[in-house]
Structures are given as C-alpha cells and as structure tokens.
C-alpha cells in the first residue's frame, strides 16, 4: 500500500526542481566567453578607427588647398613602387596612438586598386604593410577613394583616375 501523505511536498519539490533547471539553462545560455563568432563589436571599432585614419590622410594638411598626404603617397611613384614608408609612418601614427606611453597594436596590409582599361579588369598593386598576413588573423577592410592624375597600367595616358586604397587592419 503506497502512502499518499505529503503530496504537497512532492509538488513543491517538482516545481523547485524545474525552476532550478530552467535557471541553470538561462545562466549557461548567457555565456560571456568570447568566441570567434562574437568579434563584431571589436570589428566595428577597428573599422571606424581605420576609416577615420584614412580619411584624415586624405585631407589636405592644415585645410589648405592642394593635395592630401595620401594623394602624394600614391602620386609619388618611385622605383620601389609607391611611397610606402611614408604611408607606414603616417597610418600607424594615426591608428596606434593612444593616451599614455603604450601604443596600440594594430597591424595592416595596404594595397591600391585600379581599373585596367585595356584588360577590363580590376587590379591591385601592393602599397605597403607592417606585417604579412598569415591567415590566422581576423582582419577588417577599410577603404578610401583617391583621385590622382597619373598613369596606371592598362593605358598610356596620364589622366585623372580614381583609385581605391584598401587596407586590411587587424589587432594582435
């Protein structure tokens, strides 16, 4: 004969158990572990920093008329390609400076994309980088349009062209 005393205690026990299980489920669901899928927040910040830096580089110094530093870097085509060291100094100065003596640790790889008129393709020329991409990084892409009066591969003319400076930016 089963005794049916204490039914209320049984119901209470079941209810309490369910509440505890559901609470544990919610707590475990609210994971605070930073997984690779959750990098959107820092991506957004790096993208903004990089875009701002490129925009500043593409603005005339002191607001005077004339050409911007970024324009000059692309325009001054030496034997070794674009004026990479100047880009490196200027860009890292903008993105890595922060309050205090410690600098930030952003790395980049920059290229210049132009349209090849003869072959009807979009091509990229390497600009400069301060670290090679190994494939393990999680870079974001920031871009800036530059108008430059220069000859690019695919045409013999020196004329007004617009090129896209593309920078892959990541933090180590």
Residues at the contact surface with other proteins, assessed by CB under 8 A: 5-9, 12, 16, 19-20, 22-23, 26-27, 29-32, 38, 40-41, 43-44, 47, 51, 113-115, 117, 122, 142-147, 149, 155, 157, 159-164, 166
Distance (Å, rounded) from C-alpha 50 to C-alpha 141? 8
Torsion-angle region of residue 118: left (phi > 0), alpha (psi -120 to 50) or beta?
Answer: alpha
| Tokens found for residue 126 | 């390497």
User: In the bound complex, what is the minimum distance in angstroms from residue 19's beta carbon to other proteins?
Assistant: 5
Q: Which is nearer to other proteins, 5 or 102 (CB)?
A: 5
In the complex with other proteins, the residue whose CB is nearer, 104 or 145, is 145
Backbone phi and psi for residue 113, each to the nearest 5 degrees, phi listed first? -105, 130
Closer Cβ to other proteins, 89 or 162, answer by number: 162
Q: Provide, rounded to whole angstroms, the least separation between the CB of residue 82 and other proteins.
A: 17
Residue 88 CB, nearest approach to other proteins (Å) = 22
- Shortest distance, CB of residue 44 to other proteins, whole angstroms? 5
Interior angle at CA 164, CA 45 and CA 60, nearest 5? 80
- C-alpha 67/C-alpha 69 separation (Å) is 7
* Nearest alpha carbon to residue 72 among 61, 62, 63: 61
Minimum gap (Å) between residue 130 Cβ and other proteins: 22
**Token pair of 42 as six digits:** 């820092």
Q: In whole angstroms, what is the distance from residue 124 CA to residue 167 CA?
A: 12
CB of 65 or CB of 134, closer to other proteins: 65
Q: CB nearer to other proteins: give 47 or 137.
A: 47
């Amino acid at each position: 004969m089963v005794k049916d005393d204490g039914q209320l205690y049984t119901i209470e026990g079941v209810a309490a158990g369910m509440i505890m299980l559901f609470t544990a489920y919610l707590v475990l669901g609210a994971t605070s572990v930073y997984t690779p899928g959750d990098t959107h927040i820092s991506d957004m910040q790096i993208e903004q920093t990089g875009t701002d830096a490129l925009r500043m580089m593409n603005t005339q110094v002191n607001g005077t008329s004339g050409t911007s530093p970024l324009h000059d870097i692309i325009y001054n085509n030496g034997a070794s390609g674009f004026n990479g060291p100047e880009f490196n100094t200027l860009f890292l100065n903008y993105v890595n400076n922060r309050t205090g003596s410690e600098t930030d640790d952003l790395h980049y790889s920059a290229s210049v994309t132009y349209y090849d008129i003869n072959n009807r393709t979009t091509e990229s020329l390497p600009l400069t980088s301060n670290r090679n991409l190994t494939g393990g990084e999680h870079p974001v892409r920031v871009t800036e349009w530059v108008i430059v009066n220069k000859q690019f591969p695919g045409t013999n003319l020196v004329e007004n062209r617009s090129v896209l400076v593309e920078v892959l930016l990541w933090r180590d």
